[in-house]
Amino acid sequence: MPLVRVSMRKGRTDHQKKVILEQIYLAMRATFDVPEDDRFMILSEHDEVDFVFGRSYLDIERTDELVIIQLTVNNTRTPEQKRALYAEITRRLETEADLRPQDVFIGLIETARENWSMGNGIAQYA
């Protein structure tokens, strides 16, 4: 049950935003065994003053096209699955959304299964 938050500078079209979200979802399905329709995604756009990042942190040259992806997930995936997810998201966004790999920043937050309620006040995974 990933919860995906995507942050970027303002200026992309609705179509571009839809493609970005779709490709992240497809990458999760391919690498994290995410079930069909397990899609909970929030996209936020920011003015320049509200979107600050290290343009060359770790010798990676980033541009204003940077997309920051934060995924909150169950702590059930292996390091290999995580590496596969990062690579697949980046590959898909480069191919389908014309994003440079240097402009794809991914952060993964893991939580215990009992920390979710997807409705009705019930911890469905507990």
> 95-113 burial by CB neighbour count: b if 16+ within 10 A, else e?
eebebeeebbbbeeeeeee
What CA–CA distance (Å, rounded) separates 124 from 101?
36
To the nearest 10°, the Cα dihedral for 44, 100, 83, 4?
10
Q: Is 2 a catalytic residue?
A: yes
Q: Which of 2, 35, 79, 101 is the catalytic position?
A: 2
Catalytic residues: 2
